[in-house]
């Protein structure tokens, strides 16, 4: 499926449970304020590996380097999740590693936009895109044990819970136990 990467990173359109239209699109410099608010939020720092001390420069670099890098390297995609007004409400990575048939996901919703169903809809759209268009057979979700919000998003998006991976997550120099779940291609049938 490498040929997909010859085209620009796609924009995905989807709808939340409440009927709100959202898009998953490439990052833009105008997203920097939202990225900064999200990447300095205590809940984001608690549950993700976003670097400590995130600043304006890193938020701009998100749009110019980090986010486009995944598609440029043919390793999946990083999308900004934008609401109907095209405002940044979160971000989602679909990352394809050594095994080209397996992707993993990472996501954060902006603190001002949580609880509106954005990430559930975005995760489903991104995972389906990977399974249908990028040759992926299995999309994996992993979170620290206890991240109930993330688990709820994954399960609402159709991922099946698989269990606990002991010491499964690296987190700021230590290891944490991880919950895992997956959506596989046959789930779409």
Shortest approach of ligand COA to residue 179 CB, angstroms?
A: 9
Whether 120 and 155 have beta carbons less than 8 Å apart is answered as no
CB proximity list for 188: less than 8 A, separation 6 or greater: 128, 131, 132
Shortest Å distance, C-beta 181 to ligand COA: 10
Q: In the set 39, 117, 126, 134, which binds ligand COA (CB under 6 A)?
A: 117
Maximum CA pair distance of the chain? 44
Quick check: 82 binds ligand COA (CB under 6 A)? no
Sign of CA dihedral 142, 147, 153, 159: positive
Length of the chain: 189
Phi, psi of 117 (to 5 degrees): 85, 10
Residues within window 127-166 making contact with ligand COA, judged by CB under 6 A: 143, 147-150, 152-153, 156
Residue 44 is a binding residue for ligand COA (CB under 6 A): yes
Binding ligand COA by CB under 6 A: which of 108, 127, 131, 136?
Answer: 108
Interface with ligand COA (CB under 6 A): 43-44, 47-48, 107-109, 114-120, 143, 147-150, 152-153, 156
């Amino acid at each position: 499926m490498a040929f997909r990467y010859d085209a620009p990173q796609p924009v995905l359109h989807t709808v939340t449970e409440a009927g709100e239209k959202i898009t998953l699109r490439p990052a833009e410099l105008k997203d920097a304020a939202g990225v900064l608010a999200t990447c300095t939020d205590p809940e984001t720092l608690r549950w993700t590996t976003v670097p400590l001390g995130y600043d304006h420069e890193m938020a701009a670099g998100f749009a110019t380097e980090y986010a486009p890098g995944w598609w440029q390297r043919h390793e999946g995609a990083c999308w900004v999740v934008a609401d109907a007004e095209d405002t940044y409400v979160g971000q989602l990575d679909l990352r394809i590693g050594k095994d080209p048939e397996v992707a993993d996901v990472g996501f954060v919703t902006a603190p001002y936009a949580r609880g509106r169903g954005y990430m559930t809809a975005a995760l489903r759209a991104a995972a389906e895109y990977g399974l249908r268009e990028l040759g992926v057979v299995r999309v994996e979700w992993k979170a620290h044990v206890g991240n109930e919000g993330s688990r709820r998003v994954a399960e609402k998006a159709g991922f099946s819970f698989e269990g606990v991976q002991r010491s499964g997550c690296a987190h700021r120099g230590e290891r944490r136990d991880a919950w895992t779940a997956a959506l596989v291609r046959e789930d779409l049938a």
